Structure 1
Amino acid sequence: MSLTRQLISGGFADLEKSTRFLEAPELGCLDRERLLAGLTQAADPDLALQSLVRLLASRPQLRSLLEQPEAATLPLFRLLGASEALAEFLMRRPEHLDVLTVRPDPEPEGVPAVRLRAALLTAVGADPDARAPVADRTGPDAWVALRVAYRRLLTELAIRDVCALDPLALLPVVGAELADLASAALDAALAVSRAEAAAAFDPGDVAAVRLCVLAMGKCGARELNYVSDVDVVHVVGTSSPPPDVTGEPDGAGPELPEETMVAIGTALAAGIARVISATAPEPPLWEVDTNLRPEGREGPLVRTLASHIAYYQRWAQNWEFQALLKARPAAGDLELGDEYLAALGPMVWSSSEREGFVESVQGMRRRVSENIPARDRERQIKLGAGGLRDVEFSVQLLQLVHGKVDESVRVPTTTAAIDALAAAGYIGRADAREMGHHYRFLRLLEHRIQLVRLRRTHLMPESMQARRALAKAVLEPNEPARPAPEDLLREWARAKRDVRALHERIFYRPLLNTAAHLSADDVRLSPEAAQARLAALGYGDPRGAMRHIEALTAGVSRRAALQRQLLPVLLGWFADGVDPDAGLLGFRRVSEALGTSPWYLGLLRDSSSAAERLCHVLSSSRLITDLLEVEPEAVAWLGNDDELRPVPFAAQWAEIRSKLSRHTGADARMRLVRLIRRREILRTAIADASGLLDQAAVGRALADADQAAVLGALHVAEREMFGDSPDRRDVPTDVLVVGMGRQGGREIGYGSDMDVLYVHDPRPGAEPAEARRAAEALVARISTLLQQRCTPPVLAERPLTLDAALRPEGRQGPIVRTLSSYREYYQRWADTWEAQALLRARPLAGDDALAGRFIELIDPVRYPERLDPAAVREVRRIKARVEAERLPRGADPSRHVKLGRGGLSDVEWLVQLLQLQHASTVAGLRTTSTLAALHAAAEAGLVPGQDAAVLEASWLLASRVRCGTIVWTGRSSDVLPSDRRALEAVARWCGYPAGSAARLEEDYLRLTRRARAIFERRFYGT
């Protein structure tokens, strides 16, 4: 194989340059095949080759290592191909080349922090065992010694990292060791600073000052990057009393004045930064960033513990408590640091109760995103959408909200915190696995990019060569195959997409905002606190409510843990409803019905709307609660508006047909039809309660569910009576079910009966008597099938009752007639009321051709060319009779929504009179819909627009009241409630705010009074 082909297959990018380097004299006499094999193990073979030649040029003794077996050279090639900066360190400091001779464990462990600290303190001549070590070396000599020792340890870590079999799994170990190494550097720098401060202050005073360096951010959380600012806060104190000149405590001496103590502490803190970051023959390590201290850049560099406490009690902003989440005593007097955490910890874990806390954290995340330069937005691994900050802010917000009572989530490391939040149930297990994996992947990208030149960057490189090397380092570090840059970008895009989705679902979870404002006692749900809170929230039976709570939260199961997490918030939402006691009882019943379903409580925890919607419907609707108990899987719809959209009739019918084809027996088939109808009624009711449907849409959705059920019943009855033969040769007659009244107009409410007509048309050759008997048996069977209850039964659910009282001759006439019989009857004997009834006739189920012929038959009857005065008088007479005779005895006409003053009947009769008079000439009036006909009448000038608006508003409000009553009680009623709680429930259903029962009553009475006046003027001509 030619050299060029070898280079290409080995992953080299710059073939010309790499060929020149391979010809370099430093590589003479080396086995080229072995050399190329070694270089191909590097993430960036070009970089590894160039660094190797430069290293050999200054350190020829390295040649002996290249002659070792392949396993021995792995650290050399992996390191040189991963970090140009560490290769340069070895060139500067050849005494540390021995790091390349150590064979790393493919599954390495971290170096203990105590060993790292001892190594760096020893490097500056300090005693690691001393309480407050003081260095023997000072000035640039000490700075260089510390930095060289640090980089030696960093190189050892980098070798273990890049040689690991699974660097993704190792990443938390790497982050922890980097943080421990930084802590050790701070401790060694403090030892040097103490030695230097002794030249400017009294040595005894310097020795008396206790200084603790608290690491914040990633260093505090022990998840540091290879290159990062190290955020610190300094707290100072003194030994009391200070030691005397002999070094022994002097019990008679005065305490060190606070001004002196703070001055010395400031010198020590400034000295730490100088040792680590000042210019010297060995480059700085990183910047010591003190901007997270109280008052930031404007505040003093060091403070006493009392000063810190005072600041956080009085002045600290919300973000400062979030920053303290990761605080860790890293260097100096760790006991003082522990005192600091003990004093401020309670403030941190109660900070979420502060006004606007959750919103301020969310706002801070948005500001971080908005401040990314436009040129970097698409390359940001850390700050951009779907980046590291999305994970970190989500995790920290969950910790701060729930950690006030749950100590298990008080862990600073992000990966450990994700696991803790999942174990406690605050994040779903699958979400936690996904978030943890993507977080480690993004951190690994960041590590490998920074390692190249040891520069602080969080941007995806732009050059194709750098991306190719990064793909090898991250995706397949131990495989000979080299992933393409496109593979890396695809994996990165997937991580960003998933992280952003998780962030938006968790970070903006409404439960967080509500839970944040609960006190610790409320969250713990202790019996005393819970009963007091229940009574304050308005629960009528706090003891009974506590029994439900105890039943839901008892035990140590994950389900019980989630219930304990959810209930403190849900209790408040139940209390926002009309009957919080019923809401809590309903929640218990639904929860028990769903048992251990893994999705249920996770949905309520994670969804942006599901939990609040569930609380709302359970505390406001007996009908929905009863239906949810037998259809608990419907809770899954609550978090998705699309799931709550009514299913069109055609889709329902397609589902029914599919299920009927897979089952035999009329009872089994009809059970499926009834279950589908019940499901769609529940879907409509929840959507209605959620404000997703207006009254017209509710009527259409319920009518579609009833129509699908009737059509299903017809097919079940036909197959039961005539068999499943596709050609249906044995069927003697075609049957049509025609919807009348509000069903015909698709304007029904919950629990409405169905007014119908039955039409049949004997098939050619069928005996008329046989066809009539078959039609009668068929329609009787349809009614029976629909009257049966679902299993399990629901108290508030009413089976569908078919009422044929509007047929010719009323209840005295035959239940079903032939088409020709209808024709003859309507031509010879039909009364005006029968023509009026046909205005809302709409075919529902049966033969399509027969439906067309029936509509063709009745259109001239219901839309006459002329309505004579006698017919108008007849309509008015019947309406007056209905008002006088059908209104229940003792009922208040002003409160009866159907037959009362300005109610449904008034509006519908006026519209129907206009249809009888003008539909022959006004096409828009030829509709079965009351509101559509009213709009057409207004457009045609038959009713003034202002009057039409009042009539429409009255009709809609009466319809809402009627629906609201049955939804609240589970029972039908046509009367505006007088009971205050029932009236409040109906008001809420009608869209009024809490406490509006009287307002609804006033609005209804005023609106219907105006509608009645318009009706009397337009209908009776008075």
Structure 2
Amino acid sequence: MTSRPIARGEFIRQGFLDGETAAENLQRIGSSGPELIALIARTADPDDALRGLADLADEVEDREAFLTELAEDEGTAMRLLSVLGASEALSDHLLRHPEHWRELTDPTLGNTRPAAYAVRADLLRAVGADPLAHCPVAAMLDIEAVDALRVEYRRILLRLASRDLAHGVGIDDVAAEISDLAAGTLEAALAIARARVGESAANARLAVIAMGKCGGHELNYISDVDVIFVHAAAGEASDNEATRAATQLASQLMQICSDHTGEGTIWPVDANLRPEGKTGPLVRTLASHEGYYGRWAKTWEFQALLKARPVAGDMELGADYMKMIAPLVWSAASRDGFVEDVQAMRRRVLEHIPSDQAERQLKLGSGGLRDVEFAVQLLQMVHGRVDERLRASTTLSALADLTRGGYIGREDGQAMHEAYAFLRTLEHRIQLYQLRRTHVLPDDEHELRRLGRSIGLLRDPVRELDKWWKHHRREVRRLHEKLFYRPLLSAVAKIPGEEARLSTDAAKQRMSALGYMDPSAALRHLEYLTTGVSRTASIQKQLLPAMLEWFADAPDPDAGLFGFRRISETLGSTHWYLSMLRDEGEVAQTMARVLATSRYATDLLEREPTGVRILGADLTPLGSEALTKEMLASAGRQDAPDAKALAIRAIRRRELLRVATGELTGDLDVVRVGEGLTNLTDATLEATLSVAHTSVCAQRKIGEPLSRIAIVAMGRYGGFELSYGSDADVMFVHAPQEGVEPQKAATYAQAVANELRRMLALPASDPPLEVDADLRPEGKQGPLVRTLESYAGYYAKWSSVWEFQALLRADAVVGDPALREKFTALINPLRFPEEGISAGDVIEVRRIKARVDDERLPRGADPNTHLKLGRGGLADIEWTVQLLQMQHAGIHESLQTPRTLNALRAARDAELLSAEDADSLTEAWRLVSSMRNAITLVRGKPSDQVPRDSRERAAVASVLGYAAGESDAMVNDYMRTTRHAHAVVERVFWS
């Protein structure tokens, strides 16, 4: 039956580009052509495949039998056509050696990879050497052997390429098969070299050590084959005779592989990775290699040795070489600056890429193959010192081992595997076309089309190829940055290998030397965290060597390790916790510092372990508006009023941790801490006030609030100077809604204020917020909530100068905006009188201050080191500033601020204080406030006394930025600074 002719337009629809030429080539094939056209249309380049088939049919011995067999055997046809459509170089080889098409009739090609020993034997037999001989020697004439080696190499490569293209063999199998082919080729080339050198070749044992991709079983279709030569004297030969013979053998081997002959070339053999590179001797003895690597080798040389393996020559000598280098390779990461050296080397590679290739470089460019390889090798060398499971030389195998061991997250490992396999496949397909060494994505559309189709993108190959190339490149960039620059690597690399193993016998002494007070308890924690074969235990083993060092650098290592255990007990099984610590080393280091320094922050973390996430976030405190919005949204997802309040407080707990961590890491100074805590308190009160309104309305079964309420911040709260242990000093003001009886409105407002205070004192896992209204008129005896008119009447008739002084720091910040504005307008003339306060009022302020100094200082407290009431402490500074404000703020508007430091600057600018005095008071206020915060962070509860306990004092000094052992310097600085401040207070406040 005759097939109908195919129209030229049908060729275009089938994927051909030149329908007219395709029709002509199909006609050349004859009656078998139409039966093959569907297979041809699935190849990388159907035009090339059809033309190649027509040309090959003209060269084979029995044209008709050839074409008939192809038409009847789809497997053979697909293998042959896939090669013809993807590789111009192998098509040319088939035209020179048309009998080799029969290699593709082997039905086992799609199932099994040939054994390396069988490949080696075929190559040796091709040059007339005995595969079973200890040192095979080529028996053919020299030029015939060299050509025979090339022909046999291409024959095997043809089979391999057909498996790759037609049967979808994995990239790792293809690369390993090419590497086996290269190893066998080196062995055959060495056999020819022995024949060339003659009898003197017997004077040397020579081992060929493959490096790079050949050593790692991941060679490309065409690439330099990197080698190192190791030799030893054989028989009775002298060292000089052995060296001379080994050098001749190595030189001849390199020439045999790289020479161009009538059968082309194979690939260059590159020995530049040897000790001293091009300037060093081509061959060295085992002892010479050992001496060089022990004394002179650079970081990159140990990284290169990661993939070394003996592939040809004297395999026993090669095995000795591997035994010698293994300890050197797996201890290299302990060298000073190892991680930084590897990272710098990768950056240098990027800097030397030609600008016109940077965006198309598959191998060296950012997001390319080298990014994957460097990241994997760095992780191997750092962690492989201890974990021998990580020592595979093949990138994908090592990547799988790192993922299984928990050194790389599962999703990251899978994404990197897919990206690397895709990029390697592209690299192979590009090189296969002309068997040229290139790693650059082409910019010609026809070449891109062929490349896309070669990896199965048949519908829209150019667009799809561009999409997938960019996707995988982005993934590699992201993962490379994440893994290659992981801070944990540098920390782990600096720990000697023995200590990284955490062996129990040596660990107790090591823990004691690091500063752990209870090494036995520390070892129990370590045993708990690392016992077992689970992924969690594996990741803990990676983390702990570095974290133990970081705990030891902080004031309380024991507390740090115990806190880590407590949090890990809660979070260890979650998918994100340990992965985050592993992948984001800065988070792990921050966590170690927090846990081993701050009881306050540790308590927050233990109450809410998921707060660990915030350690890697921006530590800048959020503004009150953003916080209020988030709190109200969170509360809105709850039904019961108390649940709403607890949702608000959970956000407050998280933000307390953010601020505390920011201060512990030095990101926030005391002013920004005060602002952050104040904004957080504003938001907490604003959101809780809203919930309290709703709750009281529900309790009283009324639809709308009966009164508008505002909350006035007082004291350090009003001055934006809150510390961690501060209460929220406030006053409540309300205004009845229109038409509501005053008494009903007052009762309602009081209920709302009490509900707000109750909700913020509920037992919960966060620190309660004490809302203290004792600064209101008449103190505890007066009504909790007043109207504006009531405040005005009280201040007009009954108030004392100390109450006007308290109003200096009043800031109406929460609740009804109009009411807040009216309250501020009411109190401004009272606290900032135009004429200042009278001489009698000045005397009264001084009298009250003297009484405070005498009566409020706790019994047994040291007046020199009491932070609040001691000499030059907060009370001295703040009363001095406030007296200046009451005297002069009516004239100098810049003094009308609730903030102490702002008022100090204003007093200096108004020349009420000398610059020197203002600086003394500012320095003292900052130091005392910082120390007060630091004590709360360290102890977990507030205190106004400089710590007497040496360990607490050291921890406070650490928080303040003093180096280890400088706690006495901290106390001396405190005494000097407060003494200067007290002298200013004596002159300004009391005189």
* TM-score in terms of structure 2 length: 0.95
Which residue among 805, 808, 830 is the counterpart of 1:836? 805
Structure 1 stretch displaced more, 56-65 or 149-158: 56-65
Per-residue deviation at 1:823? 0.9
Given the alignment of the two structures, is residue 816 of structure 1 paired with residue 785 of structure 2, yes or no? Answer: yes
SS in 2 for 1:760: strand
The AA in structure 2 aligned to 1:404 is: R
Aligned equivalents of 1:104, 1:126: Cα separation in 2:
27
- Show the counterpart of 1:650: 625
The AA in structure 2 aligned to 1:48 is: A
Superposed CA offset, 1:170-226 (max 9, x none) = 11000000000000011111112222222xx34xxx345322111111001111000
Which residue among 677, 699, 711 is the counterpart of 2:674? 699
Which residue among 69, 80, 84 is the counterpart of 1:80? 84
- Show the counterpart of 2:191: 191
Aligned equivalents of 1:443, 1:894: Cα separation in 2:
72
Per-residue deviation at 1:26? 7.0
SS in 1 for 2:414: helix
Aligned equivalents of 2:109, 2:127: Cα separation in 1:
30
Per-residue deviation at 1:375? 2.0
SS in 2 for 1:735: strand
- Show the counterpart of 1:149: 152
Superposed CA offset, 1:55-80 (max 9, x none) = 34544745544441455422232111
The AA in structure 2 aligned to 1:1019 is: F
On the 8 A contact 2:26/2:50 being kept in 1, the answer is no
On the 8 A contact 1:293/1:301 being kept in 2, the answer is yes
Aligned equivalents of 2:638, 2:395: Cα separation in 1:
53
The verdict on how the C-alpha distance between 1:6 and 1:222 changes in structure 2, with shifts beyond 3 A counting, is same
Per-residue deviation at 1:913? 2.4
Aligned equivalents of 1:706, 1:21: Cα separation in 2:
79
Structure 1 stretch displaced more, 650-659 or 448-457: 650-659
Per-residue deviation at 1:619? 0.5
The verdict on how the C-alpha distance between 1:933 and 1:191 changes in structure 2, with shifts beyond 3 A counting, is same
On the 8 A contact 1:559/1:596 being kept in 2, the answer is yes
On the 8 A contact 1:90/1:97 being kept in 2, the answer is yes
The verdict on how the C-alpha distance between 1:611 and 1:28 changes in structure 2, with shifts beyond 3 A counting, is closer
- Show the counterpart of 2:101: 97
- Show the counterpart of 1:682: 657
Aligned equivalents of 1:474, 1:945: Cα separation in 2:
75
Superposed CA offset, 1:269-302 (max 9, x none) = 1221222222322111000111111221122222
Given the alignment of the two structures, is residue 586 of structure 1 paired with residue 563 of structure 2, yes or no? Answer: yes
On the 8 A contact 2:547/2:588 being kept in 1, the answer is yes
Given the alignment of the two structures, is residue 232 of structure 1 paired with residue 201 of structure 2, yes or no? Answer: no
The AA in structure 1 aligned to 2:297 is: A
Which residues of 2 match residues 622-771 of structure 1 at below 5 A?
Answer: 622-640=599-617, 642=618, 644-723=619-698, 728-729=703-704, 731-771=705-745
Which residue among 475, 479, 484 is the counterpart of 1:502? 479
Superposed CA offset, 1:97-137 (max 9, x none) = 2234445765x432111110111111011111222212211
Superposed CA offset, 1:623-671 (max 9, x none) = 111111121111122223x2x3323222222233223333333332222
Aligned equivalents of 1:949, 1:40: Cα separation in 2:
84
- Show the counterpart of 2:906: 936
Structure 2 residues without counterparts, runs of 5 or longer: none
Aligned equivalents of 1:483, 1:62: Cα separation in 2:
35
On the 8 A contact 1:583/1:615 being kept in 2, the answer is yes
Structure 1 stretch displaced more, 180-189 or 806-815: 806-815
Structure 1 stretch displaced more, 815-824 or 455-464: 815-824
Which residues of 2 match residues 304-703 of structure 1 at below 5 A?
Answer: 304-476=285-457, 481-640=458-617, 642=618, 644-703=619-678
- Show the counterpart of 2:841: 871
- Show the counterpart of 1:246: none
Structure 1 stretch displaced more, 490-499 or 746-755: 490-499
Aligned equivalents of 1:3, 1:953: Cα separation in 2:
92
Which residue among 102, 105, 125 is the counterpart of 1:122? 125
Per-residue deviation at 1:570? 0.8
SS in 2 for 1:1012: helix
Aligned equivalents of 1:847, 1:1014: Cα separation in 2:
41
Which residue among 123, 140, 165 is the counterpart of 1:137? 140
Superposed CA offset, 1:793-828 (max 9, x none) = x6xx4x222222211123333332222111111122
On the 8 A contact 1:421/1:427 being kept in 2, the answer is yes
SS in 1 for 2:989: helix
The AA in structure 2 aligned to 1:528 is: D
The AA in structure 2 aligned to 1:904 is: L
Aligned CA RMSD, in angstroms, stands at 2.2
- Show the counterpart of 1:248: none
SS in 1 for 2:808: helix
Which residues of 2 match residues 238-253 of structure 1 at below 5 A?
Answer: 238-239=233-234, 242=235
Percent identity reads: 48
SS in 1 for 2:667: coil
The verdict on how the C-alpha distance between 1:785 and 1:123 changes in structure 2, with shifts beyond 3 A counting, is same
Aligned equivalents of 2:511, 2:879: Cα separation in 1:
49
Given the alignment of the two structures, is residue 286 of structure 1 paired with residue 286 of structure 2, yes or no? Answer: no
Aligned equivalents of 1:533, 1:28: Cα separation in 2:
80
- Show the counterpart of 1:159: 162
Per-residue deviation at 1:993? 2.5
- Show the counterpart of 1:802: 771
The AA in structure 1 aligned to 2:972 is: E
Per-residue deviation at 1:525? 0.8
The verdict on how the C-alpha distance between 1:412 and 1:913 changes in structure 2, with shifts beyond 3 A counting, is same
Aligned equivalents of 1:121, 1:620: Cα separation in 2:
68
Aligned equivalents of 2:773, 2:614: Cα separation in 1:
36
- Show the counterpart of 1:827: 796
- Show the counterpart of 1:960: 930
- Show the counterpart of 2:47: 46
On the 8 A contact 1:138/1:195 being kept in 2, the answer is no
On the 8 A contact 2:628/2:687 being kept in 1, the answer is yes
On the 8 A contact 1:121/1:127 being kept in 2, the answer is yes
Aligned length: 983
On the 8 A contact 2:371/2:476 being kept in 1, the answer is yes
Structure 1 stretch displaced more, 710-719 or 618-627: 710-719
SS in 1 for 2:716: helix
* TM-score in terms of structure 1 length: 0.92
Aligned equivalents of 1:835, 1:25: Cα separation in 2:
104
On the 8 A contact 2:659/2:673 being kept in 1, the answer is yes
On the 8 A contact 2:32/2:67 being kept in 1, the answer is no
- Show the counterpart of 1:858: 827
Structure 1 stretch displaced more, 734-743 or 46-55: 46-55
Given the alignment of the two structures, is residue 8 of structure 1 paired with residue 12 of structure 2, yes or no? Answer: yes
Per-residue deviation at 1:457? 0.4
Aligned equivalents of 1:959, 1:219: Cα separation in 2:
64
SS in 1 for 2:358: helix
SS in 2 for 1:943: coil
Per-residue deviation at 1:620? 0.4
Aligned equivalents of 2:846, 2:467: Cα separation in 1:
75
Superposed CA offset, 1:396-420 (max 9, x none) = 1111111112111111000000011
The AA in structure 2 aligned to 1:234 is: F
On the 8 A contact 1:475/1:483 being kept in 2, the answer is no
On the 8 A contact 2:29/2:57 being kept in 1, the answer is no
Which residues of 2 match residues 967-1006 of structure 1 at below 5 A?
Answer: 967-1006=937-976
- Show the counterpart of 2:818: 849
On the 8 A contact 1:593/1:630 being kept in 2, the answer is no
The AA in structure 1 aligned to 2:186 is: L
Structure 1 residues without counterparts, runs of 5 or longer: 243-254
